[in-house]
Structure 1
């Protein structure tokens, strides 16, 4: 009799526990399908091994620690239609299909909030999606797909989101009028990659430790402002910002610090570059085949080489601060009467014979550059350099100013020691 009671209790416990687990795994899509339009589906804590589709206006919300996981050949979460809200959910995509997105979004007026994605390929893909907001999300990739990928998608906002180890952190192609604001991107190829997209706003982002902080290409009327592009130096072609084939674009009030090249400008015309802090890079600013750009009120401090240019005439470069420039204010306007020239001699020489890079800033190379001056139309010249920097430049985290002081002090002490020993021998 007692054994029968025990078996009955065990059966009751199994009925109580296992239906809940099976239900959690099998009924997520059913719950979505059964929900009314504009309803809310709340998922309790747990791991749901399922790929789901949201194709009507509703909210899918995780309560507690909620993970939706799939290793299949379709996205873990697919969003269609309009007015879908997805929030407080962790998404794991382990499918092997190339270019598979963990979260696929099309349609309009969706909200993706506090969604944390771990993806083998793409993280969040917006495909012909409009008026979508992606906010406070994280995307962890494996460098085989873009963190956030936009294709033919307009008027979307991506803000306060972190992307790491993507192929490109945030990739925008053929997608106009989008805003990328207050995001953090690291350990990717291009932190932010804009291609053939106009009127993009890239504001207040931090892009660091990538091959390039941002590549802005084939764009018009785009604004790149108040961003930090730093420590992008993992490749021989690394830059803080690469501005390529851009027109009527404004690059202003950014910090481009401790990159291989702070700002690379190629085939860019009719742009404004103002108020930027370009400091402690190997090359501050590099130009190629660019004209009719306006460059003013920028600060170039602590770069190994401030600027180089090839075939870049008819640019207006005036009133920038160059710490290497000779300064003589004869008018009291805070402008030097001595123009500052950036001769492309070394760039042109090493392009033909890369081994000459070993002689960078050597005395012989400096003499050659003085003797074999490039034609004026190939030289970037600031006709009125500023006497003082127009902005307060923050020290780079690696404290290059302190390092420069130590090196300078060492050189002075060494010179004095040699001078004193020379006098004693005499």
Structure 2
């Protein structure tokens, strides 16, 4: 049956007939036998034209499950940080570019999770939203060392730069997270965020002068300064008696477990400076030092100089007393010190060396300083190298008690006894010969 209106694309002949081939209707040219169209399966889509295999099988690339999970975690992190839509969009763009890069294709799942936090951190810093890496690591419950390595790698891969943040901007953003305005809490507990940020920032600067900030994570110290600033701005009996844990509960903040230790360190520094205030007659203790925080931060440079001078004078007096005790004015032959000294001189040189080695080590120099880094005041204990320790050659004699200390089971004890008996019999035979 001829098909009207069709021409053969090969020879141009209008002689086209319909032919049923394998239950599918086809239009075939009578002159050259070419198939003009193959029915409804291909005519509607390709209209009889030649189509490559790649076009017919091409599908859109979909993100993997880990990438989708990372995008969701990125959005949740932006919601927690109260970041705007611009930061969220830029973070998603960076994450999509870095995730598909060859440097992050064959890495662990922990590094891919850190990658989402690093993208948020870069976007926040570029768009002037102050956030620290410690905050991101705390929210994601990630290792800050691994996050730092991923952050540096991501900056190199994407070829982006992030400006350094200022501590004042970070403190301002941190203070705004505390719900202690008049709309949130009672009037006696309410405080303005600007006044709170100003006082907390002064305490952070004081902590830097007293070496408390050295080598420490910022989040616990910021929480401690905000707590002391809130107490000192209105030191009534309600605020003074309120603990850090209850303050965080009222302010709807999660308490940091190290912040309480930083509060104690800050109070210790404040007490040292509060004692140097001339117009304060009552003794300054950790319980009432918050009442004098305003005067301390206002005159902290003068108080630091006075405290250092007083500490140096106290050390001089202590050294003078020690010298007077060591060198009394009485004759040497009539003092008990001379007797003990003569008795020491009469000792042998070996005994004197043993007494020196048994003496206690000298106290840490950080204990004598008024303000010193925490790593100096509380150093890590290290094994002391033993003087005169001989090298082990393997030819040393081993006592029976030391050998028996390594024996654990009855079988081992029995085997050891048999070997010892055999060894003694061999020695006796050798002597007889």
For the aligned pair, the TM-score class normalised by the smaller chain equals: under 0.3
Structure with greater helix percent: 2
**Which gives a bigger RCO, structure 1 or 2 (Cα 8 Å, sep 6+)?**
2
Q: TM-score, normalised by structure 1?
A: 0.25
- Choose 1 or 2 for highest CA Rg: 2
